[in-house]
Structure 1
């Protein structure tokens, strides 16, 4: 789907999606059946075209990457970086081991976050920017995000103990983590993230090192869905 977004962004050509990934968060956002390829194919054959915002990511070298769900940076992207360097074990256990390794060395990550109307400096554990609501197979990291409001939602998890982070993650599946004192949320049309040594991931794929600038682009994507959502 990430490759498809790069080709379809700002064009009249709609995307038809048959979910076959690990997380399938794009499919959830648009009500496309998961685990049933025939039902998803029926959406492509008989569905309607819905317009959606996209997040436009501009890297320091000027290159552009389009994202439909979450741009992740911080602890979660460090885990992905470590897992991608590991040749053993295979499957989800690789990410579990990578998470344990990153927990053992967890430290504050100094961030500068530039929004439309304010600048935030914070020692964070992770910063997620959402055009959609979830990543990682339904983790509602930015539960209030809308793909049709022309804005990005930010979730900033402040640095704390390892135990606090472990306790926070189960709440992400319900989106209730945003009520915790350690979590701050923001909304902005444009976001610039600066943090030395941190790599950004978008829709589960590696994008590149911070700093990056992210901008909500209204109605940048056409996608086939069951009904207008």
Structure 2
């Protein structure tokens, strides 16, 4: 398999000489093309900082991050912005949809920025919407949608440009249990049926159980790793809970 993401011994510091906080401490791992990797850890562990560095929204203090062969830690601001537009897809906890645009228009925006022909935009959106079962809500505005529907529109928006890597930050955090399950089934479909490579930060063991591999972070370091393998999702969920307990987390917050 092709290595899509290589995180090479990165460190991230905040503050100045008198008060330095080390958010990431020599983190190193690879993600293969087509993997679905979850990142878990207690509050303040560094998991969101890690995702921000991979997503190019933050920079590392040392080390390198390679995505699809490009060293993103060496790119200049303009090249970095183009890389983010062309190679990355984002799913945020708070959806980040534009209220003045319909679901269709929110999805189309990334293709419009790329100056894709109108007929091609419509064809691509309807094809993906059919696969994600959101065709009936494309004409609606965000205020007319439930949280789960908004997040599935956001999934389509993240996938429409066929990015090398999709980054999801607590995607189920604002959803009820039914909506969360439907969203996770959509994300799983992106991964298993459409071949999307996904990295997802979550505090929730149920959400994490949809991934094929989990990296646990504590105090800025990788504490443990779980690979689902041939386990059922239920068995994998129980294994995740065991590690969360070792990390000192409150399992009441991850069920």
Same fold (TM over 0.5): no
Larger strand proportion of the pair: 1
- The higher-RCO structure (CA 8 Å, 6+ apart) is 1
Q: Give the greater-gyration-radius structure (CA).
A: 2
Q: Structure 1-normalised TM-score?
A: 0.28
Q: Structure 2-normalised TM-score?
A: 0.26
Larger helix proportion of the pair: 2
